[in-house]
């Protein structure tokens, strides 16, 4: 079973399904303009750590598409910085941009540099698809029985260029008869759970229900959750993990209720330059996302708001981290992974 990929590269253009319009409208942004691609990442029209990385890789490669040779260096540098400034937390963005930059730095004098960059973006894209498959296979090992699972945000096909991370583990487990029900946190304030994860689960035919984020404690107290699994935006060497705001709440709740708490992510989400979560930069979103809802004002515009997009779950609250390489158990040490 497959769902709609977040992005496709066709006829030298990037096709992005506009995730701010889902699930009510299935609309596409079709562009070869790196500025439009940067805006799409900032607006969360494309989002999720791996998908952001692959999208930015195409954006940077496309920056040379219509440019004369003498302007290559200037335009490339401008596009690199523009794309790198879009969202600070997901390390996959910087990983992918730097992979494209390495090719540019080595081969910028070759006549077909534009095609070389596009080929590199295509290989980053293909690699992401393969990583998702590896995660889904390794993730099967966490299921000892048909389970009731809770997830937060969206770590599915929409968040990667393959079939997803945490949601791909759930999809694979469902196909093997190991999923009874998926509880989906709505994921305030932008509702990646109730809009995007629900859309994917519905297409996959997996039984689910959406709940407000504050319902998860009650679900656990009623013994309705066997395990929690989420994705990640950046994992430090010691296993501390940045993911969508509210993930830490779940890990604390799991600890209290003695429920296993898993992270699923590709090794491209591990940041070997971050020793611990303290070094991870957390994105603050525009307060408009709290004062307004879907364009409608819901509280006074002048009320101040605190708007972190992500939080850090300390390693000691994580039962295991599933990557394409294996299931990593604590104590985590990702120096050589
Ligand atoms: O702000 P978003 O929607 O980009 O946040 C996404 C998440 O937090 C995901 O859980 C994470 O990127 C993993 S996606 C495979």
Residues 91 and 72 in one domain: yes
Residues 98, 152 within the same domain: no
Residues 122 and 168 in one domain: no
Catalytic residues: 233
Domains in the chain: how many in total?
Answer: 2
Protein residue with least CA distance to atom 8, ligand 1:
244
pTM for the whole thing?
0.97
- 312: domain CATH number? 3.40.50.10470
Whether residues 78 and 111 fall in one domain? yes
Whether residues 166 and 208 share a domain: the answer is: yes
Residues 128 and 168 in one domain: no
Cβ contacts of 225 within 8 Å, gap of 6 or more: 148, 149, 150, 183, 216, 219, 257, 259
123 and 141 assigned to the same domain: no
Pair 188, 299 in one domain: yes
Same domain, 207 and 99: no
The pLDDT tens digits along the chain (337 residues) read: 677 899 999 999 999 999 999 999 999 999 999 999 999 999 999 999 999 999 999 999 999 999 999 999 999 999 999 999 999 999 999 999 999 999 999 999 998 999 999 999 999 999 999 999 999 999 999 999 999 999 999 999 999 999 999 999 999 999 999 999 999 999 999 999 999 999 999 999 999 999 999 999 999 999 999 999 999 999 999 999 999 999 999 999 999 999 999 999 999 999 999 999 999 999 999 999 999 998 999 999 999 999 999 999 999 999 999 999 999 999 999 999 9
Q: Whole domain around residue 16: which residue ranges?
A: 7-133
Decide whether any atom of ligand 1 lies within 6 Å of the 200 Cβ.
no
Residue to probe by mutation, ligand 1, list 199, 244, 262, most atoms within 8 Å of CB: 244
* Ligand 1 center from residue 245 Cα (angstroms): 10
Q: Are residues 174 and 323 in the same domain?
A: yes
- Integer Cα distance of 14 and 170 in angstroms: 28
Q: Are residues 262 and 220 in the same domain?
A: yes
């Amino acid at each position: 079973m497959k769902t709609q990929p977040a992005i496709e590269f066709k006829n030298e253009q990037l096709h992005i399904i506009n995730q701010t319009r889902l699930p009510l409208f299935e609309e596409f942004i079709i562009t070869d303009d790196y500025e439009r691609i940067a805006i799409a990442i900032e607006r969360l029209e494309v989002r999720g750590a791996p998908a952001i990385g692959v999208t930015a890789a195409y954006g940077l490669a496309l920056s040379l598409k219509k440019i004369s040779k003498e302007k290559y260096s200037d335009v490339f540098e401008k596009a690199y910085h523009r794309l790198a400034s879009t969202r600070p937390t997901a390390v996959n963005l910087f990983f992918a941009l730097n992979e494209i930059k390495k090719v540019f730095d080595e081969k910028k004098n070759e006549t077909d540099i534009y095609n070389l960059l596009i080929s590199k973006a295509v290989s980053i894209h293909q690699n992401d698809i393969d990583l998702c498959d590896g995660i889904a296979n390794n993730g099967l090992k966490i299921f000892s029985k048909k389970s009731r699972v809770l997830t937060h945000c969206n770590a599915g096909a929409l968040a990667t260029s393959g079939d997803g991370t945490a949601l791909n583990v759930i999809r694979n487990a469902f196909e093997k008869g190991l999923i009874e029900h998926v509880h989906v946190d709505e994921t305030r304030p932008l509702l990646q759970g109730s809009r995007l994860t629900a859309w994917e689960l519905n297409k996959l035919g997996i039984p689910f229900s959406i709940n407000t984020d504050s319902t998860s404690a009650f679900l656990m107290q009623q013994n309705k959750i066997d395990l929690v699994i989420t994705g990640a935006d950046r994992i430090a060497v010691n296993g501390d993990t940045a993911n969508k705001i509210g993930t830490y709440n779940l890990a604390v709740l799991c600890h209290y209720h003695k429920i296993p708490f898993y992270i699923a992510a590709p090794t491209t989400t591990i940041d070997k330059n971050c020793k611990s979560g303290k070094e991870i930069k957390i994105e603050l979103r525009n307060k408009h996302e709290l004062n307004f809802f879907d364009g409608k004002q819901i509280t006074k515009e002048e009320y101040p708001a605190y708007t972190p997009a992500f939080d850090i779950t300390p390693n000691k609250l994580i039962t295991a981290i599933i990557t394409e390489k294996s299931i990593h158990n604590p104590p985590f040490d990702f120096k050589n992974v």
